[in-house]
Structure 1
Amino acid sequence: MIPIPSKLEGTEFHLYKLEQELKSLGYSIGGGWEYDHGYFDYEIDSEVGYQFLRVPFQAVDGQLDSQGTSVRLGRPFLLSHKYQRGLDDNVHVDNATASFDQFSEPVDPDASFPKKYIDLGKDLVKELEAVLIRD
């Protein structure tokens, strides 16, 4: 994980409007969100595992699944997930758990981040600052 200091840290937005703005830039709400916090993810690459720019957010008022909720952004960071290969190769149609177990756990959820993408991650954060922080 590589933290990227940003002017976005501590800024507040209505979640719905923020999500619409970020979706148009290629971000999605990452899996594993809770009722009080979550992440916007931008997939940088999937060459060996997955490399993301992740922007954390925390509910300020209400829960994330409530209408009109505001969120506060945290420090963006770069993250690599390296997944096990071959776990999905032998899924049988009659296997009752196949629909639940088809996705593997990361071999290394904090895998080293490829240096060639660090500057791209910093540029993506600058783009977010330009789009979201209007002076």
Structure 2
Amino acid sequence: MIEIPSKLEGKTFNLYKLEQQLKPLGYVIGGNWDYDHGSFDYKIDDKVGYQFLRVPFESIDGQLDAKNATVQFGRPFLLSHKYQIGLDDHANTGNFSASINQFSEPEDPDATFPEKFVDLGKSLVQELEGVLLDG
């Protein structure tokens, strides 16, 4: 895991509006959400496991399944998961959903993040800052 300091940390947004802004950019709400916290995930690569940018958030007003929920961002980070071959036929389909499938056991849930994608992750965070703070 590689943390990326960001101007987004501590900023609050309406979750529904965030989804409308971020989905067209390729972000999805990660499968690890609960009623009081979650994350937006952006898949960077899936050649050997899955590498993605995760932007965590927590609810500060309302539950996440409510249209009027307000969330506060935490520190974005780059994360890599490497899945075992053969344990789950769907883990190697190339679908991003497999990276968050609760039934797929990771071989290494905190695998080393490939250096070649670190700069891309940092530029994705800068893009998010531009869209959400300057837009």
TM-score (norm. length: structure 2)? 0.87
Indicate yes or no: 2:9 matched with 1:9.
Answer: yes
Identity percentage of aligned residues:
71
Q: Distance in 1 between matches of 2:14 and 2:51?
A: 27
Match of 2:67? 67
Match of 2:56? 56
After TM superposition, what 4+ stretches of structure 1 lie above 6 angstroms from structure 2? none
Note the 1:37-48 alignment, pairs <5 A: 37-48=37-48
Note the 1:51-130 alignment, pairs <5 A: 51-89=51-89, 103-130=103-130
Instruction: Give the drift of 1:133.
Output: 0.2
Greater Cα radius of gyration, structure 1 or 2: 1
5+ unaligned residues in a row in structure 2: which ranges? 90-100
Q: Deviations along 1:31-79, whole A, 9 cap, x unmatched?
A: 0200000010000000110000000000011110122010001100000
Q: Distance in 1 between matches of 2:45 and 2:65?
A: 29
5+ unaligned residues in a row in structure 1: which ranges? 90-100
Corresponding residue pairs, total: 124
Structure 1 residue identity aligned to 2:75:
R
SS at match of 2:87: coil
Contact 2:60 2:72 in 1 (8 A): yes
Q: Distance in 2 between matches of 1:69 and 1:110?
A: 30
SS at match of 2:43: strand
Match of 2:98? none
SS at match of 1:78: strand
Q: Distance in 2 between matches of 1:13 and 1:102?
A: 28
Q: Distance in 2 between matches of 1:104 and 1:71?
A: 29
TM-score (norm. length: structure 1)? 0.87
Q: CA RMSD in A?
A: 1.6
Q: Distance in 1 between matches of 2:126 and 2:53?
A: 12
